[in-house]
């Protein structure tokens, strides 16, 4: 039984989150430079069994792709080439950065710590993954 990994791909950084082996809860894993994403994934897949990759896909309020898609699409295309056996699903990531910021405030994180964009990216990836897991429970 494999884990589910989620990516919040940004121009400079990518937040990464992963489920526990039973796929019950999402946990923030790390934030990596986006240009190192394939090295990271290759190393991670050698250590862990991942059955599904969730990628945050930014859409606007009218459901059209946002401009961020221009740097996410090439990563998606390369993912399919480098890891053809890996199932990839796109998840609407609207508002995840705002939700991540609110989660940090609600959690009592100091303002200086909230300014660390890598933390926001990791939390965003976790929110994307947790929302995907919750959507699965509604389907059953």
- Is residue 114 situated within a structural domain? yes
Phi and psi at 13, nearest 5°, equal -125, 155
Rounded to the nearest 10 degrees, how much is the dihedral formed by the CA atoms of 23, 96, 30, 51?
A: 30
**pLDDT value at position 114?**
65
Q: What is the pLDDT of residues 67-103, one digit of tens each?
A: 777 888 999 999 999 999 999 999 877 666 666 667 6
Q: How many domains does the chain divide into? A: 1
- Is residue 130 situated within a structural domain? yes
Domain that holds residue 85: 3-14+33-139
C-alpha of 52 from chain center: 12
pTM score, whole prediction: 0.84
- Is residue 19 situated within a structural domain? no
Q: What is the pLDDT along the chain (140 residues), one digit of tens a residue?
A: 799 999 999 899 999 999 999 999 999 999 999 999 999 999 999 999 999 999 988 776 676 666 777 888 999 999 999 999 999 999 877 666 666 667 667 777 777 766 667 787 888 899 899 889 988 876 65
What's 116's domain CATH number? 3.30.420.140
The residue with tokens 């929302």 is: 131
Q: Is 27 in contact with 47 (CB distance < 8 Å)?
A: no
- Is residue 28 situated within a structural domain? no
């Amino acid at each position: 039984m494999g884990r589910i990994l989620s990516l919040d791909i940004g121009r400079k950084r990518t937040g990464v989150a992963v489920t526990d082996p039973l796929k019950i809860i999402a946990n923030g894993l790390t934030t990596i430079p986006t240009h190192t994403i394939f090295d990271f994934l290759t190393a991670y897949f050698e250590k862990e069994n991942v059955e599904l990759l969730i990628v945050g896909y930014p859409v606007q309020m009218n459901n059209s792709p946002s401009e961020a898609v221009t740097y996410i699409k090439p990563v998606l295309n390369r993912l399919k080439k480098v890891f053809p056996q890996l199932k990839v699903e796109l998840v609407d990531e609207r508002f995840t950065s705002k939700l991540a910021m609110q989660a940090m405030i609600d959690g009592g994180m100091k303002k200086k710590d909230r300014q660390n964009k890598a933390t926001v990216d990791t939390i965003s990836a976790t929110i994307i993954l947790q929302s995907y897991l919750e959507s699965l429970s509604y389907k059953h």
